[in-house]
Amino acid sequence: MNPFQIKEAPVVYDVAIVGSGAGGGMAAYMLAKAGAKVVLLEAGGYFDPADPKYITQLKWPYESPRRGANTTRPFGDFDAAWGGWQIDGEPYSAKTGTEFHWFRSRMLGGRTNHWGRISLRFGPDDFRRGSLTGVGDDWPITYEDVAPYYDRVDKLVGVFGSKEGIRNEPDGHFLPPPKPRLHELMIQKAAKGIGIPVIPSRLAILTKAINNERGQCFYCNQCGRGCQAYADFSASSVLCIPAIKTGNVTLINGAMCREVTTDPKTGLATGVSFVHTGTMQEHTVRAKTVMLGASACESARILLNSKSALHPNGLANSSGVVGKYLNDSTGASRGAFVPALMDRDRYNEDGVGGMHVFTPWWLDNKKLDFPRGYHIEYGGGMGMPGFGFGFGTENMNGKYPTANGTMKPAGGYGSGLKEDVRRFYGAYVHMAGRGEPVPLESNYCEIDPDKVDKYGIPTLRFNYKWSDYEVKQAKHMQDTFEEIFHAMGAIPMGNKPGPETNHGYGLEAPGKIIHEVGTVRMGKDPNKSALNAYQQAHDCKNLFVVDAAPFVSQGDKNVTLTILANSMRTSEFVIDQVKKKNI
Amino acid sequence: MKRRDTLKALGFSGITFGLAVGPAEAGVPLPPDKKVPLKVPGGRQPFEAERDVKLHADKFFTPQELKTVTLLSDIIIPADSKSGSATQAGVPAFIEFMMKDVPANQTPMRGGLAWLDNTCRKLYGKPFADCTRAQQINMVDQIAYPQKAKKDMSQGVAFFNMMRNFVVCGFYTSKIGIEDLGYKGNTPNQWEGVPEPVLKKFGLSYT
């Protein structure tokens, strides 16, 4: 067999979809249900959270020789994500003095298999930050355009929450939220006393069954491992597998996309070429419409690599905007010790896989020195021990009295040390801010002129620096965390992060929060944007992007719910356009 | 309603998308996987399973080192009225594995054990494992309390902190350690909120 031959599949699909995460999975689901013949290309392997081959849920730490440490998976042995910030043979680079960390999950369902399930709607203001603040840009669509799709996504995936009537935190169709855990009640009471709201969180987890295909949450706290009952939303279990069951989807795993192929005369997309990761052979699939849901950076990379005589800057890039305005959520965090929680009564407080309460953005940026808000996520409680449990006990057990009131020297060993570990168990809380950055043209990814990955595909080079806006926002987060800690009688751990800590006040490096968006932005003006209001390429009418690449901004909301809503909206637009014979 | 009927009802069947192809005739046939892989345990990726098998086959600690690690493990976590000891929980094997899994651990561990033996030779004329129980405890007492230890014991303090971390972690992530701790979860249940007596104790309520 000639290893260099290009395999041409003999069929023309209605739609080729690249990527099976939230965006690609939703497109495959919508189009397959509508009767289209879909080829779904996924760079990674097959994954079904209910197949024992893949299940890590309900395993104990001692079932891992490293007790769940993160040696081969960034979030530990039991986390559902295959891949991470570094993948063998799939490098990327950054320009000197800048950095970006690119997390990729190579598997059916992509990163939705392990995500935090936080499902916050963008509010009306989140679509028009440019005109409201003079910083950044407006979306070409409004909340009213997306709201009907949010409604349908809520019902399809299942989201719990509470009706609060907060203007820029629109309520959805919510399942009942779980009651707060003990530390969450303490946080709620303390924060309320100093004017900071703490409301039930909004997560894509089924606290009640919504159909016969998916079970109800059984409160093991392990959504990050994927759910064998399909009681949380993953694109694999809720979108891709049902789409495949229609018989209309041809799934090709191990398909590493090289480029979108185009017709040299019309410039229209004709299909996708890819390298099979198992055989290293080149293939192409032909399709009448191409939809990219490969992730913000991967979709930009594919477009930039899809160069032709008619598309010399890459496909959908006559504006030159592809790759630019890359932005990730800001993130900063702090932990604290709660003396009142020493020697706790033991009971099962696993709850759902994530926080039961959170703080939505509650202040007016006009009165602050940074233009965008953040929300706060809370952690703590009597969780399952894993790798790292008990580390640093010597920093704690000399500071607080024992049960009978006596002090003892820090460190030590023996049965007294065992008593210390029992005493401190479940007595910690943790706060993490997740904020909206200002998207900048100067933060971008581009094709590295010198490098290719092991498949011979040119790789990305990043250029990303936080601005003062994000640093000031992180400072505000740290101040807020301390206020709440003090109000609840908690003692912050370590020194307060200052201007020199991490990227300033504990601000995480770009890419670390894994909410990157913006690289193939939509807009009304084809000179300043790559896609129109339906995520359709200005330059190529049968090409669509359905992941977070089209986002003009990301709010202080986690982006998955909006990827789902936008992909559903675009999929229906595609169906409509095919009906009208426009594409 | 059959799927075909559903599609008809929606008005998409056959009309909307012209050149439909059946999935059976379409697509790219995947070549058979020629490698005969080892049995991959549930929840592992093949490369992880291969790596774990290799790490388990390797040996890091010498018999003498393992003896010292085992002694220290049970000094740090002995059996008590509530639960068993570190060695009963398999802690030395966990530490052995972590040395191979994260090679950055190797020099501080191996060097720390050598520091310990050398210091014991100076003080008691024998390596740690050959010392009497009283000598071993006397040695440990000089490195187990970071704020009280003498300055010339600082490397020993750092080593003992590392050892304490691994032993406590290894024990409390084992079956008997988790029972000792009283962790009640990792089992299907219905969360109904914080138990009433606990709420009362903290003066909290859901209303």
Residues forming beta bridges with residue A276, ordered by sequence position: A255
pLDDT of res. B30:
56
C-alpha closest to that of B89 among B199, B16, B181: B181
Q: Which amino acid is at A7?
A: K
* Alpha carbons A479 and A330: distance in angstroms, whole number: 16
Contact (CB<8Å) A37/B17: yes
For domain A159-232+330-383+426-435+466-509, the CATH class is: alpha beta
Structure tokens at A201: 């969180």
Structure tokens at A53: 């081959």
CA A188 and chain centroid, separation: 26
* Alpha carbons B116 and B32: distance in angstroms, whole number: 55
* Alpha carbons A242 and A33: distance in angstroms, whole number: 9
Q: Does B34 map to a domain?
A: no
Structure tokens at A297: 């950076």
A278–chain B nearest CA distance, Å: 8
Residues 417-436 of A with CB under 8 A from B: 417-418, 421-422, 425
User: Which residues in B lie closer than 8 A to residue A114 (C-beta atoms)?
Assistant: none
pLDDT of res. B79:
98
Contact (CB<8Å) B168/A348: no
Q: Within 13 A of A383's CA, how many CA atoms are on the CB side?
A: 20
Per-residue three-class SS string for A21-50: CHHHHHHHHHHHHCCCCEEEEECCECCCCC
Interface with A, mutate which of B30, B169, B184 (most A CBs under 10 A): B169
pLDDT of res. B207:
85
B46–chain A nearest CA distance, Å: 11
The alpha carbon dihedral of A95, A96, A98, A102 has a sign of positive
Same topology, domains A1-47+82-87+103-146+238-327+439-448+514-583 and A159-232+330-383+426-435+466-509? Answer is no
Answer whether A28's CB lies under 8 Å from A239's CB: yes
B145–chain A nearest CA distance, Å: 5
B207–chain A nearest CA distance, Å: 11
If you search the block for the tokens 């799939």, which residue do you land on? A90
C-alpha closest to that of A27 among A273, A237, A239: A239
* Residue B182 in this model has a pLDDT that exceeds 90: yes
Q: Which residue in A250, A352, A383 is closest to B26 by CB distance?
A: A250
- Collapsing DSSP states into helix, strand and coil, what is residue A304? helix
Quick one: closest CA in B to A579, which residue? B16
Answer whether B203's CB lies under 8 Å from A340's CB: no
Whole-complex ipTM? 0.95
Gyration radius from chain B CA atoms:
29
Tens of pLDDT along chain A (583 residues) come to: 444 566 665 799 999 999 999 999 999 999 999 999 999 999 999 999 999 999 999 999 999 999 999 999 999 999 999 999 999 999 999 999 999 999 999 999 999 999 999 999 999 999 999 999 999 999 999 999 999 999 999 999 999 999 999 999 999 999 999 999 999 999 999 999 999 999 999 999 999 999 999 999 999 999 999 999 999 999 999 999 999 999 999 999 999 999 999 999 999 999 999 999 999 999 999 999 999 999 999 999 999 999 999 999 999 999 999 999 999 999 999 999 999 999 999 999 999 999 999 999 999 999 999 999 999 999 999 999 999 999 999 999 999 998 888 999 999 999 999 999 999 999 999 999 999 999 999 999 999 999 999 999 999 999 999 999 999 999 999 999 999 999 999 999 999 999 999 999 999 999 999 999 999 999 999 999 999 999 999 999 999 999 999 999 999 999 999 999 999 999 999 999 999 999 9
pLDDT of res. B3:
41
DSSP codes joined into one string, A130-148: HHHHSSS---SS-HHHHHH
Answer whether A437's CB lies under 8 Å from A420's CB: no
* Residue B16 in this model has a pLDDT that exceeds 90: no
B181–chain A nearest CA distance, Å: 6
pLDDT of res. B17:
42
A425–chain B nearest CA distance, Å: 8
Cα separation values, A288 from A205, A293, A311, Å:
36, 16, 18
Task: Sketch the domain layout of chain A as residue ranges.
Answer: 1-47+82-87+103-146+238-327+439-448+514-583, 159-232+330-383+426-435+466-509
Q: Does B44 map to a domain?
A: no
Q: Which residue in B76, B183, B190 is closest to A219 by CB distance?
A: B190
Contact (CB<8Å) A65/B97: yes
Instruction: Give residue B174's domain range.
Output: 52-181
Answer whether A153's CB lies under 8 Å from A233's CB: no
Per-residue three-class SS string for B125-151: CCCHHHCCHHHHHHHHHHHCCCCCCCH
* Alpha carbons B93 and B87: distance in angstroms, whole number: 9
Domain total of chain B: 1
C-alpha closest to that of A354 among A225, A504, A542, A474: A225
Helix (H) or strand (E) holding A390: none
Contact (CB<8Å) A72/B47: yes
Interface with A, mutate which of B39, B168, B206 (most A CBs under 10 A): B168
Instruction: Provide the 10 A C-beta neighbour count for residue A197.
Output: 17
User: Which residues in B lie closer than 8 A to residue A39 (C-beta atoms)?
Assistant: 26-27
Cα separation values, A537 from A268, A517, B25, B75, Å:
10, 17, 31, 67
Q: Which residue in B43, B78, B177 is closest to A415 by CB distance?
A: B78
User: Which residues in A lie closer than 8 A to residue B77 (C-beta atoms)?
Assistant: 413, 417-418
Q: Does B206 map to a domain?
A: no
C-alpha closest to that of A361 among A528, A476, A237, A247: A476
pLDDT of res. A7:
67
Segments of A187-268 assigned E as strands: 199-200, 249-253, 255-262
Contact (CB<8Å) A288/B55: no
Q: Does B124 map to a domain?
A: yes
* Alpha carbons A234 and A230: distance in angstroms, whole number: 8
Q: Does B138 map to a domain?
A: yes
* Residue B14 in this model has a pLDDT that exceeds 70: no
CATH architecture of A1-47+82-87+103-146+238-327+439-448+514-583: 3-Layer(bba) Sandwich (3.50)
Instruction: Provide the 10 A C-beta neighbour count for residue A513.
Output: 20
Interface with B, mutate which of A418, A542, A577, A582 (most B CBs under 10 A): A418
Segments of A392-495 assigned E as strands: 428-435, 444-452, 458-463, 491-492
Helix (H) or strand (E) holding B106: helix B106-124
C-alpha closest to that of B136 among B90, B68, B89: B68
The rounded percent of chain B whose pLDDT value lies above 90 is: 81
Q: Does B58 map to a domain?
A: yes
User: Which residues in B lie closer than 8 A to residue A411 (C-beta atoms)?
Assistant: 144-147, 157, 160-161, 164
* Alpha carbons A244 and A31: distance in angstroms, whole number: 11
C-alpha closest to that of A475 among A503, A515, A513, A438: A503
Contact (CB<8Å) B161/A394: yes
Segments of A471-545 assigned E as strands: 491-492, 536-537, 540-545
Quick one: closest CA in B to A221, which residue? B186
Cα separation values, A477 from A332, A537, B82, Å:
7, 38, 42
Residues 386-415 of A with CB under 8 A from B: 386-394, 398, 409-415
pLDDT of res. B38:
83
Q: Does B15 map to a domain?
A: no
Contact (CB<8Å) A345/B195: yes
C-alpha closest to that of A470 among A503, A517, A422, A518: A503
Quick one: closest CA in B to A77, which residue? B44
Residues 49-108 of A with CB under 8 A from B: 52-56, 58-62, 65-69, 71-72, 77-78, 82
Answer whether B13's CB lies under 8 Å from A35's CB: yes
Read off the pLDDT of residues B95-133 as tens digits, 9 standing for 90 and up: 999 999 999 999 999 999 999 999 999 999 999 999 999
Q: Which amino acid is at B106?
A: Q
Quick one: closest CA in B to A189, which residue? B204
- Collapsing DSSP states into helix, strand and coil, what is residue A461? strand
Answer whether B142's CB lies under 8 Å from A412's CB: no
C-alpha closest to that of A538 among A547, A551, A519, A525: A525
Contact (CB<8Å) A34/B55: no
A394–chain B nearest CA distance, Å: 8
Q: Which residue in B102, B145, B206 is closest to A179 by CB distance?
A: B206
Maximum CA pair distance of chain B?
A: 92
Structure tokens at A444: 């971008």
Q: Does B90 map to a domain?
A: yes
Interface with B, mutate which of A39, A413, A573, A581 (most B CBs under 10 A): A413
Contact (CB<8Å) A350/B185: yes
* Alpha carbons A20 and A43: distance in angstroms, whole number: 9
Answer whether A436's CB lies under 8 Å from A556's CB: yes
User: Which residues in B lie closer than 8 A to residue A278 (C-beta atoms)?
Assistant: 30-31, 33
Quick one: closest CA in B to A395, which residue? B146
